[in-house]
Amino acid sequence: MDIKGSVLMEKYELGRLLGQGTFAKVYYGRNMKTGHSVAIKVIDKEKVLRVGLINQIKREISIMRLVRHPNILELYEVMATKTKIYFALEYAKGGELFDKVSKGRLKEHIARRYFHQLITAVDFCHSRGVYHRDLKPENLLLDENDNLKVSDFGLSALAESKRQDGLLHTTCGTPAYVAPEVINRKGYDGDKVDVWSCGVILYVLLTGYLPFHDSNLMEMYRKIGKAEFKCPNWFPPDVRRLLTRMLEPNPSYRITIAKVKENPWFKKGNIVRKPNKELVLSTSSDGASASCSSEEKQEVMRFQNLNAFDIIALSPGFDLTALFEEPRQKKEMKISKREAGLLKLEAMTEGRKGILSIDAEIFELTHSFHMVEVKKCNGDTLEYHKVVNEGLRPGLQDIVWTWQPEAKPPPPPEQPQQPEKVGSLPPEQDQLP
C-alpha cells in the first residue's frame, strides 16, 4: 500500500519509498515540528509474528539504543499501531556506500577515510558488548556530509548471548563477507567475525570487487576457508600486511581492532585532537556539553561547602580507599581537593574518550543533612557509570540514608479505550505493543 503523503502519529509526513525488504519498507519522512528529514522504517507486525522475529525486532531496538555514535545510524523513536511498527531513523542522504563502490574502486585516501570511520564505529559497538555480524557496503550509509553510518543491526548479538563456552553459535551474515568459523558452524567470537568483515570491506573499497568470489557458492566458501585471495601489485605494503592479518582464517591469529588502529596506513592522515586543558567539558544526560569551570561553580553555590574528609569524619569507620581499591578490576582514580569544597576524581589511565574526570561537590542543606553532587566532566559515559555503580554507590552505603517511600497518590480513573488511537513508544523502552 502506498503511504506517500500520509501523516504518521501527527508528527511525521511520509514521502517517497527509499527501499524495501521482506518484512519492511523504508520511506523518506519529515518531522513536521522541526522540519528535519528522517527515514521511516515500516515493519509489518503480522509478518514478523508469523515467522517468529518479534524478539529480533526488540533486540534491534535495544541495541540501537545502546550504540549512540557519530558513525552509527541513530534511532530517534519507535512507534506502533495494531498492524505496523515504525522506526524513526536518522536520514542518510548519501545512500549506500555500495552504490559508490559498484561504480569502481575508490581513491586511496577516500577509502581510508571510510575505513577509519567504520573501524571507529565497530570498536565502539564492541566496547558496548554489541557485535554487528552483517557488515557489508549495503549496510554502510552516507550522510549529507559524506560521513559513514553503520546501519541494520537486525542480525546483531549482545555479549550476553554467548553460550557457556563464551562463544556465539548462530550462523548468520552475508556469504561473501562472512568469516570462515561461521561457515564451519563452529562457535565464534563476535569481535573476530566483525574484523574479518571489515577486512573484506577494505579490500572492496580499494579494488571495487570482492576478494572471495565464485559463481559456485561451495567453491567460494572453500576460498574463504583457506583465505585464498590476491592483493593487486599496486597495494601499499602496509595495506597488504593489514589485509593479510584481518583475513586470517584462524581467528586465534586474526588481528584485533586495537592492532588495526596501530597500522601505519590506517594512522596516515589521521588527526589526533588533543584535549583542551583550560576547559573541561561536562556531558549531561541528553548528550549536551557545557563548560564547568571552577569560577562558574563558585557562582552557583547556594550552600556552605564541606571538605569531603569532614564528611568522612562524621561517619566512623568509613574508609575512602574502599571506593577504588577492591580486589575486582576497577578503574583506579586519584583524588585532589580544589577550592570551595570541590573534589576532582581523575582516572590514572586513559580510557576510550580520554582521561575520565569526575567532579564531586558537597553542600550543607541543613546542619544534619548534606548533599553530594557528582558530575562527569570528561571521558566515556559507560566508564563513568561503572565507577559510580561499582565504586561510589557501594562505598557510600554506610553514610547515605534511605528514606521510606512516600505514599503514592491514588491512580487516575481509567479512561475509556479508543481502538482507533495509536500509541508512541520511545527508544528507551524495549517492550512493544
Q: What is the pLDDT of residue 411?
A: 55
Distances (CA, A) of 129 to 66, 159, 226, 285: 9, 5, 29, 21
3-class DSSP state of 377: strand
409 in a domain, yes or no?
no
218 in a domain, yes or no?
yes
Mean pLDDT of 412-424: 44
Mean pLDDT of 253-277: 77
Q: Is 116's pLDDT higher than 60?
A: yes
Q: What is the CATH number of the domain that holds 182?
A: 1.10.510.10
Same domain (yes/no): 292, 391: yes
Cα-Cα-Cα-Cα torsion 20, 24, 25, 27, nearest 10 degrees, comes to -130
Mean pLDDT of 357-369: 68
Same domain (yes/no): 241, 114: yes
Mean pLDDT of 421-425: 38
Same domain (yes/no): 146, 79: no
Q: Which residues, 6 or more positions from 335, have their beta carbon under 8 angstroms from its beta carbon?
A: 308, 320, 343, 344, 345
Q: What is the CATH number of the domain that holds 70?
A: 3.30.200.20
273 in a domain, yes or no?
no
Same domain (yes/no): 263, 345: no
Same domain (yes/no): 303, 364: yes
Q: What is the CATH number of the domain that holds 328?
A: 3.30.310
Same domain (yes/no): 223, 211: yes
Q: Which of 267, 302, 325 marks a domain boundary?
A: 267
| 186 appears as a binding residue in the annotation | no
State the DSSP code for 310: H
Least confidently predicted of 147-156, 261-270, 315-324 = 315-324
The boundaries of the domain holding residue 255 are: 95-267
| Residue at grid coordinates 521511516 | 40
Least confidently predicted of 285-289, 335-339, 400-404, 413-417 = 285-289
pLDDT digits (tens, 9 = 90+) for 194-225: 999 999 999 999 999 999 988 999 999 999 99
Same domain (yes/no): 176, 295: no
Same domain (yes/no): 306, 256: no
Q: Is 20's pLDDT higher than 60?
A: yes
Distances (CA, A) of 427 to 28, 74, 175: 19, 10, 31
406 in a domain, yes or no?
no
Mean pLDDT of the chain: 78
Q: What is the pLDDT of residue 194?
A: 97
Q: Is 361's pLDDT higher than 80?
A: no
Give catalytic status of residue 134 as yes or no: yes
Same domain (yes/no): 64, 105: no
CA 31 to CA 39: how far, in whole Å? 10
pLDDT digits (tens, 9 = 90+) for 304-327: 444 444 444 344 344 433 333 334
- In degrees rounded to 5, what are phi and psi of residue 184? -75, 0
Active-site entry in 123, 134, 189, 359? 134
Mean pLDDT of 373-381: 83
Q: What's the domain count of the chain?
A: 3
Same domain (yes/no): 149, 55: no
1 in a domain, yes or no?
no
Q: Is 11's pLDDT higher than 60?
A: yes
